[in-house]
Amino acid sequence: MGDNLVYLRYHWFDRQIRQGRFPNAPALVAEFEISERTAQRTIEALRRDFDAPLEYHPGRRGFYYSDDSFHLPPVWLNQQEIFAVLLAKNLLSCCADGLISQDIDSLNRKLLRQIKVRGLEPDRFDELFSATWQGYAPAQAEVFRLAAQALVERRRFSFTYTSPQGENNSHPRQVEPHHLQYYMGTWVLLAWCPLRRDWRKFLLARMDKPELIDTPFTPRPRQEWLPQLEGAFGIFQGKEVEMAVVRFTPEWARRVKEQVWHPDQRLDPTPDGGLLLTLPVADLREIKLRLLQFGAEAEVLQPPALRAEIQREAAAMVRLYRTEKKF
C-alpha cells in the first residue's frame, strides 16, 4: 500500500506539471496531508530515481520539465513482480544473441529504478541472481526476431535449414509458424510445412538467411498442433506413444525422485531401495541419450526397442575402450 501511495504522489505531481500548474512541496503537503520533509523527498526522488528533468521556476514558485519527452513508467510493480520480469530477462537473454536484452533494455532500466526506490540498488541485482545454461544452441538475433514476427503476424517464414548430419546438408524451407518453444535453453519453432503437408520442428540455431514472406496464413486449430509439444518425453513427439520403465539403483533413487522428467511420470520404490521410473515416450533418441548419462545406474526394462538401443550403444562403447590406444 505504501508503494502505491508514493506512486500516486509521483503521478499527481507529474500531472500538475503537464497541466502547466508549476507544483511545489507546499502543494504536495496540501494534497496528500504529508510533511514538508516528505514532500521534498518526493520531488528529489522524481529527479534522482526516474531522471525527471525537473527545473524550478522562481517566478511561478514551482517546477516544470525542461524536456517534455520525459514520461513516468506507466506501470508500478511490486518488488516480487519486478524480480520476476528481470529474472525472466536474464534466463532468456543469452539464447537469442542478446536480442531480448536489447529490446527490453529501456524497460529494464525503469524497473531497476523502481527497485532502487524500494532500497535495493540496481547494480546489486546481478550480484544476487544469475542463470547458467550448458549445452544449449543459441539463435542468431535476426533469426529470432523474424521468426517471432512471423509467428505474431501469421505470415510465412522462409530460411535455409542445416540438418545435424552435416554442414553441407542445407535446404531452403518455407513454413507456417505456429509456436515458438523454449526448450532446455534452445529455441525451437513448431511449424506447418506446406511442402510435406505435416508438422515439423526447427531449431533456430540451425537456421540461416531468414526472410519474412508477405503471404499470410490461417493458423490451424490449437488441438491439432498441441500434441506436437506435449504427451511424451522430450522435444521429439510422435503419434505412437508407449510407456518406458527404467530401474535406478538405490544410489541414484533419491536424486531421480527429486526430478521431473515428464508431468505424467510415475515413481515406484523397489525392495532394494531403488526406484522404477515410468513415463511416456514417442521417440527413442532423446531418452536414450539421457539414460546413457547414468551408465550402469539405470536399466531399461521397457520398451524392448529402447532396451535394445541401450544394449547396442553399450556394446559399441565396450569395443571402443577395449583396445588401448596411444596418442
Q: What is the pLDDT of residues 149-181, one digit of tens each?
A: 999 999 999 999 998 765 567 889 999 999 999
| Distance in angstroms (rounded) separating the CA atoms of residues 231 and 211 | 32
Give me the amino acid identity at 143. Answer: V
Domains of the chain from N-terminus onward: 2-65 (1.10.10), 79-128 (no CATH), 141-222 (2.30.30), 242-322 (no CATH)
Residue with cell 515428464: 262
| Distance in angstroms (rounded) separating the CA atoms of residues 118 and 111 | 11
**Position 185 confidence tier, pLDDT thresholds 50, 70, 90:** confident
Is a pLDDT exceeding 50 seen at residue 1? no
Q: For residue 190, which of 204, 211, 205 has the smallest C-alpha distance?
A: 204
**Position 3 confidence tier, pLDDT thresholds 50, 70, 90:** low
**Position 126 confidence tier, pLDDT thresholds 50, 70, 90:** low
| Distance in angstroms (rounded) separating the CA atoms of residues 48 and 42 | 10
* The pLDDT value given to residue 110: 60
| Distance in angstroms (rounded) separating the CA atoms of residues 47 and 55 | 10
Coil, strand or helix at 25: helix
Beta strands in 18-112 (DSSP E): 54-57, 62-65
* The pLDDT value given to residue 101: 55
Give me the amino acid identity at 155. Answer: R
Q: What is the pLDDT of residues 54-90, one digit of tens each?
A: 999 999 999 999 998 888 876 556 656 666 666 666 6
* The pLDDT value given to residue 28: 95
**Of 102-111, 113-122, 169-178, which has the strongest mean pLDDT?**
169-178
